Structure 1
């Protein structure tokens, strides 16, 4: 599980990676575990997919070195991916026709907004997903497939 920052009023974790395809699989599991531990398991599928698409772009267009920041605060999950490429990622207008370019289309569909900030050393791609805390926290060890309703008696 990724560790939260104990000094933050919400939850935050920061990780640095030198990405490989094998490592991406493990990162997806770590993110899901972390979100469940924070009580945001109900948005874990969307967050994992967004992060996976952003990290895949890093792997495809840079040498794979990046930083990932996840922050849960004020009813949102904030995602920032930092890499060394200074080119702003652009969404392909018609992925159906091109047969590629689904990554940013997926990110844009699942997030409220996406912002790219060019820095002296590369760029930060930032986005957020609404995640209100009106659900009961889910344990990282609880089964996602367990029914949430009481057992029926006959």
Structure 2
């Protein structure tokens, strides 16, 4: 199954993205992955709102064994995890994504970029 939502670059977008993902995954078989997906979409959308400041799209691809989340925006700037020592109260989002997602990356697009992540339903397979 695939679901999408369009969001504006404002402070209500992370909350809207969390609700979208939680609702789409309500019947999905991986509760821990579902919780992680809600947290991680918040991180990706927050980054897009803060740094891209363009309309964005959240795409969710749901399979039996995994879920894929993708946040697309119109900024060509490729996000990089910040040095943890330099990050005060912010700047940890991509570190959280890297720690919890089974895989993640950035795909440049003609009109911006897509930041994606993948989570397995069975979170016991994930080792740091």
Q: TM-score range by the shorter chain?
A: 0.7 to 0.9
Paired residues for 1:2-151 under 5 Å: 11-94=1-84, 96-99=85-88, 100-132=90-122
Q: Deviations over 1:25-49 (max 9, x none)?
A: 2331232122113344442210011
Structure in which a larger fraction of residues adopt strand = 2
Consecutive unaligned residues of structure 1, counting only runs of 5 or more, are: 1-10, 133-154
Closer, same or farther: CA 23–66 of 1 in aligned 2, 3 Å: closer
Aligned-pair RMSD on alpha carbons?
1.7
TM-score, normalised via structure 2 length: 0.84
Closer, same or farther: CA 32–61 of 1 in aligned 2, 3 Å: same
8 A Cα contact 1:20 1:64, kept in partner: no
Q: Deviations over 1:40-99 (max 9, x none)?
A: 4442210011100000001001224111111112511111111011111000132x4431
Consecutive unaligned residues of structure 2, counting only runs of 5 or more, are: 123-128
Q: CA deviation at 1:23?
A: 3.6
| Aligned structure 1 segments of 4 or more residues deviating by more than 4 angstroms | none
